[in-house]
Amino acid sequence: MSEPNGVMMQYFHWYIEPDGKLWQEFAENVKDLADAGITSVWLPPAYKGNAGGFDVGYSVYDLYDLGEFDQKGSVRTKYGTKDEYIQAVKAAKEAGIRVYADVVFNHMVGGDETEEVEATPLNPDNRNEAIDENRTVKVWTHFKFPGRQGKYSDMEWHWWHFDAVDYDEYNPDYNAVYLFKGKSFDENVDLEKGAFDYLMGCDLDMEFDEVRDALKAWGAWYTDITQVDGFRFDAVKHVRAGFFPHWLQHCRKEAGRRLFAVGEYWSYEIEALHHFIDVTGGDVHLFDAPLHYNFSEASKAGGDYDLTTIFDNTLVKEQPALAVTLVDNHDSQPLQSLESVVEPWFKPLAYALILLRQDGYPCIFYADYYGAHYKDNGNDGGEYEIWLDSHKWLIDKFLHVRRTYAFGDQYDYFDHPSTIGWTRLGSEENPGGMAVVLTNGDDGRKWMEVGQPNRTYYDITEHVSEPVTTNDEGWAEFSCQAGSVSVWVPKE
C-alpha cells in the first residue's frame, strides 16, 4: 500500500475450476496485470484442505502441505502444486506485483483419527447456553498428517489443541457446539451468537501456548519458503484479536522485512471494525464490509437510493488509512454463504467509487474482472446457473486513470441524491486533473472544478462522445448517461 495509488486484486473466486491450473494461469498473467496497474494480488489458501484437490482452501487440513504430499486424495491442491505456487509468487514479484497469502487460523477440518473427550453441548445460536449435561464425545481431533511423515514439522494435533467442535461421532444428528472440558471461548471476538469464537470444524484454542507457538513456527517457515509480501487473514472476528499483531511481528522479525496484513472482519457494524483496529493497534487493515453492503443496497434500490450517503458508516470514511475497499468477493458472490449481490449495472459505478478516489486501498475481484459462469444449489435446495459479467474493459480504463490522473486535491460534489461527482486537481508530477460523475437515475450533469482553465476533457469510458472545455477558472459541466458513470480526463 506504500506505493502511490496501489491496487490489490483478489485472484480467484469460489467456483474456480478445480483443475490445478490457477497458479500457472496467474504466472502467465502477471505481466498483463502489472501493465494494467495492479500492484498486489491476494491469492487463495495454498495449503491442503479437507477436500484435497477440490477444496477452496478454507477447510484447513495441513498448513505445511502446499501441494506436495499425497493427502486427502491428491498431491496438488485445487490450484496446483507447491512448486507451481512458489514459481507463481516469484513471477509476480519479478513483474513488480506484491503477493499476499490467504491465512486461516480459526479452525482445522478432516482429522485422521477420533479421540474421546468430555464436552458440554451448547446452543449453536447462543454459545453461552448449555443445552444438555456434560458428556463423553467422540471427535475427529487427531491430525497425524500421514502423507507428510513429519517433514517440516513433527507436531501432531490433538483435542487439547482445540476448544470446541460441532460433531460427535456418538450422536451425529445432534445439533450442538461441543465445548471441551476445561476450555473456554476466547475473548476479543465478535459477540454474535453470544461468543463467535467458534465458526466450524475443530476450533483452535488460541489461549494454549503450544498452539500459538506452532502457528508462529509455521508462519516463519511459510514466509521464508514462499517469499510472500503479506497476508490476508480469514475470519478474524472469530479469533482472539490480539493474536494477529503478535504473529505478524514474529513473522516480520524472522523474515527481516515489512509484511502487509489485511483482515476479513465480515460485519456491517462499523463499531465492531473500530474495536478490532483498536485491539490490534492499527497493525492489520480491514476489508470495508459496510461499504460493500452499501453498494449492494444501492444496486438493488436503483434511483430510490440516496447516493450522497454511499460512504455513510464505512471504514473508508472513518478510518481511510486502514480500509481495503471492495465491490465483491468470494463469500458475497451469488450462492455463497454471505451472498449480498451487487447488481451488474451498479458495478461500474462501485468500481469508480473505490478506484478513482483518494482514500482506501482498493481490491478488484477476479470474477468482476474476468467474468464467471457456474452452477450451484441455493438455500432453497434448487440448482441455479450463474453468469457474472466481465467488467475488465472498464476496470482497465479506471486503472489507467488512477495511475495517471488520480492525484492532488479531491473536491466532492455530493449534493444531489441521484447524481454525485468529484474531481482531482492533479499534482506537479501528475498534472491534468480529472472529473467523475455518476448517477442512479436519469442523465446526470455536474458543474465542477478541475483546476485547469480552458482545457478540453473527454469521457474515457466512451459513454459520452462530446468533449467538454473548461472556462477561464477551470470549471465545466461534466455529464453522464442514465444509470451510468463517466470519467473525464484531459485531451492531450
Q: Can you give the pLDDT at residue 300?
A: 97
What span, in angstroms and rounded, lies between the C-alpha atoms of 278 and 241?
10
Q: Can you give the pLDDT at residue 332?
A: 86
Is the model's pLDDT at 425 over the cut of 70? Answer: yes
- Which of 403, 397, 423, 427 lies closest to 412 in space, CA to CA? 423
Instruction: Note the pLDDT tens digit of each residue in 441-472.
Output: 999 999 999 999 999 999 999 999 999 999 99
Confidence band of 3 (pLDDT split at 50, 70, 90): low
Q: Can you give the pLDDT at residue 333?
A: 87
187-201, 337-351, 371-385, 472-486, range with the lowest pLDDT: 187-201
The most distant pair of C-alpha atoms in the chain lies apart, rounded to whole Å, by 82
pTM for the complete prediction? 0.95
Amino acid identity of 233?
A: F
What span, in angstroms and rounded, lies between the C-alpha atoms of 106 and 162?
10
Q: Are strands 260-263 and 285-287 parallel, antiparallel or unpaired?
A: parallel
What span, in angstroms and rounded, lies between the C-alpha atoms of 18 and 28?
18
Number of neighbours of residue 170 by Cβ within 10 angstroms: 12
Is the model's pLDDT at 206 over the cut of 70? Answer: yes
Q: Hey, which residues are catalytic here?
A: 234, 264
Is the model's pLDDT at 160 over the cut of 70? Answer: yes
The pLDDT mean for the chain works out to 95
Is the model's pLDDT at 1 over the cut of 50? Answer: no
Is the model's pLDDT at 82 over the cut of 70? Answer: yes
Amino acid identity of 84?
A: E
Is the model's pLDDT at 2 over the cut of 60? Answer: no
3-state secondary structure of 337: coil
The mean per-residue pLDDT over the stretch 382-387 comes to 94
Instruction: Note the pLDDT tens digit of each residue in 224-249.
Output: 999 999 999 998 988 888 899 999 99
Is the model's pLDDT at 130 over the cut of 50? Answer: yes
Q: Apex CA 251: angle with CA 250 and CA 255, to 5°?
A: 120
The mean per-residue pLDDT over the stretch 417-433 comes to 96
Is the model's pLDDT at 99 over the cut of 80? Answer: yes
Question: What is the percentage of the chain residues whose pLDDT exceeds 90?
Answer: 91
Is the model's pLDDT at 146 over the cut of 50? Answer: yes
